[in-house]
Amino acid sequence: MICLDNGVHFSVGLELRPGRWHSSLEIEYFLERLLPRVERLVSAEQAVLMRKDSGFDSAKLLFAAAAEKERWAADRRFDYLVKWNPRRQAKETWVMQAEAAGRFVEKRPGKREALFSMNVERAFGKQTRTFRLVIRLIERTIDRRGQHLLLPDIALEGWWTSLDDDEALVIERYRDHGTHEQFHSEFKTDLDLVRLPSGKPVLSEVEGFDTNDAILRLGMLAYNCLRLLGQLGLLGDLAPIRHPAKRRRIRTVLQDIMYRAAQVIHKARQWWLDLGQFSPVARLFEYLQQGW
């Protein structure tokens, strides 16, 4: 999923995978196909930020992201932001480190938070690279209801990044990752792609997988078309909306724009779709036909 500066989200790549595969397995081949599309879609003046969750925290993928940043450095900016997987880190050790650095700030009685960055050297193959790791450490001794805890509740989070922003802004940029999950939900529920049509009882496993992959790609095309219609529909002159909004759900676009009564007319060797003379939806499709 790609988000442009105007807040519009489009899907630029999907891949159907067996359920037994890890999310990061062979992801480098998928990125080889995906990133050139991003280069064509995004203007050279706009910076590109690649954001991944903790399932992609590995030295191999971090090295690949750093190499991609170097490749883009000639004429445009590319950065990465990857959620850190602390795995078996000792949280008490991090608390002592934050205290020694004087990073803790009390947010309320019984809750304090520390934000700091550190340079960590990681090795892959015969190479080593230094990566920036942003750490957020939250220690609670009293919960939000005022209950004192027997043992401190420690939350440890981190992000690998090439951004030069301060720690709070880096964390804020990653929060948009949760917004992307909402778009994934729309893709599955609003387009009714929770269950793909082919199964092994109907076709062989290979044929069924290829069929589902084709349906998934057609769904991506439909998603982008509906997303474009929804964003154009936010413009009051084209299709007035009921209330101010930054985006429209795919379901809303289907109900307000696509589920419209129309008459198909064959006249003068041409096919016409008559949506009505005063329909705002007709103005929207006319705008698209004129070469948006």
Alpha carbon separation from 109 to 27, 113, 147, 151, 157 (Å, rounded): 44, 12, 11, 15, 21
Show the low-confidence residues of the chain (pLDDT under 70). 1-8, 178-179, 199-208, 233-247, 277-278, 280, 291-292
pLDDT score of 1 = 57
78 and 124 assigned to the same domain: yes
What the block records as the tokens of 263 is: 């008459």
22 and 125 assigned to the same domain: yes
Alpha carbon separation from 181 to 1, 52, 53, 175, 290 (Å, rounded): 10, 12, 11, 11, 34
242 and 179 assigned to the same domain: no
pLDDT score of 243 = 57
Buried b (16+ CB within 10 A) or exposed e, 150-172: eeeeeebebbbbbbeeebeebbe
pLDDT score of 84 = 94
- Cβ-in-10-Å burial (0-12, 13-18, 19+) of 119 comes to exposed
111-124/127-142 β-pairing = antiparallel
Asked, for residue 194, whether it belongs to a domain, the answer is no
pLDDT score of 202 = 44
152 and 246 assigned to the same domain: no
What is the phi-psi region of residue 226: left when phi exceeds 0, alpha when psi lies from -120 to 50, beta otherwise?
Answer: alpha
130 and 24 assigned to the same domain: yes
Asked, for residue 126, whether it belongs to a domain, the answer is yes
Asked, for residue 103, whether it belongs to a domain, the answer is yes
223 and 170 assigned to the same domain: no
Asked, for residue 273, whether it belongs to a domain, the answer is yes
Asked, for residue 196, whether it belongs to a domain, the answer is no
Please identify, among 155, 189, 223, the residue that sits at the C-terminal boundary of a domain.
189
Containing domain of residue 265, as a range?
Answer: 201-292
Asked, for residue 195, whether it belongs to a domain, the answer is no
210 and 173 assigned to the same domain: no
pLDDT score of 200 = 57
Place of tokens 């696509």: 258
Place of tokens 């948006």: 292
147 and 205 assigned to the same domain: no
27 and 145 assigned to the same domain: yes
Q: Are 63 and 70 in contact (CB under 8 A)?
A: no
178 and 283 assigned to the same domain: no
> Using the 8-state DSSP alphabet, how is residue 5 labeled?
T
Please identify, among 189, 222, 247, the residue that sits at the C-terminal boundary of a domain.
189
156 and 49 assigned to the same domain: yes
288 and 179 assigned to the same domain: no
| Angstrom distance (rounded) from CA 58 to CA 273 | 53
Domain count, the chain: 2
pTM higher than the cut 0.85: no
